[in-house]
A and B are shown apart, each in its own frame.
Chain A
Amino acid sequence: MAGIELVDGTLVVDREPNVLDELAIRFSAVLDDLGIEHVYVSGYVAILTGRSRATEDVDVLLERVDDETVDELVYRLEEAGLWGPAMPLDRMAELLEDNIWVAEEGEMVPHLEVKFVDDRFDRASLAGRFPARIGGAELPVGPLELQIAYKLWINSPVDFEDAVHLYTLFEESLRTGELQRWVDELGVQEEYERLERA
């Protein structure tokens, strides 16, 4: 395919970064500096890989870190010109259990929806992350098979279409056993059959 390739375990995206990518790149640079493991998941993975749809948010999961590290993260995010448009970033340690928005200072959108890994699906996304390269930067993204199954589980029109995009685009490189495993674990066999028929 033209401009999106899986090369030795790295997803190479050859288009120019858009505003969502730029925000993610900026956020990851801070996290990488602090050595905080994280992973981009859900709709952003579809958009990163070319899905043509609008969104205002980018979902990102963080490994659990202590309050001191969160304080350092808040300091570094503010230093990098980012802020919390919904809640101030100094409440981050408490809000990471649910989610906290992070955006370019003074802007409401686009925003990152940042949260600690919570359940086994979050942990599997973090553990199975792989690099995506765009605009000279690298972003960690969740395993495609889990993203597809998770989208089927949510099953809104937009999420099903995200699953169609990922499944159609990466059909030949998806690990079908892995996809079936997540389909079984999330109980979305019926939706998976609909995806295969689509």
Chain B
Amino acid sequence: MSDSSEPDALAAKHERNREQRVEAVKRWVEYIRDHPAEVWGAQQNRLVNSQIESARESGLDVEHRRRVDEAGREPYPGDGS
């Protein structure tokens, strides 16, 4: 038998996760404002460049990449949009 409070708990967890991610984005903007471009830019570029490097090494094909991209475009669970 399933726990009827489970969906609510899951929704709350998603909401907390969403809020934390948004808070992290805002903190990063503050970091950009407070630090010179050579500091934040180097960090940002490391993330961007290293992800591309990993993707190149993974050797995934085009169709797989399209599916991953589409999955990342799914709306928030529970938004109904």
Contacts and interface: CB of A to CB of B under 8 A. Distances in A.
Interface of A: 1-4, 13-16, 18-20, 47, 50-57, 85-86, 101, 107-110, 154-161, 164-165, 168-169, 198
Contact of B33 (A2, A159, A198): A2
A165 B25 contact: yes
B56 A108 contact: yes
On chain B, which size bracket covers the interface?
35 or more
A12 to B, nearest CB: 10
Contacts, number: 116
B67 interface: no
B26 interface: yes
Majority DSSP secondary structure for residues of B touching A? helix
B51 A54 contact: yes
Contacts of A19: 48-49, 52
A151 to B, nearest CB: 11
B62 A85 contact: yes
B62 A15 contact: no
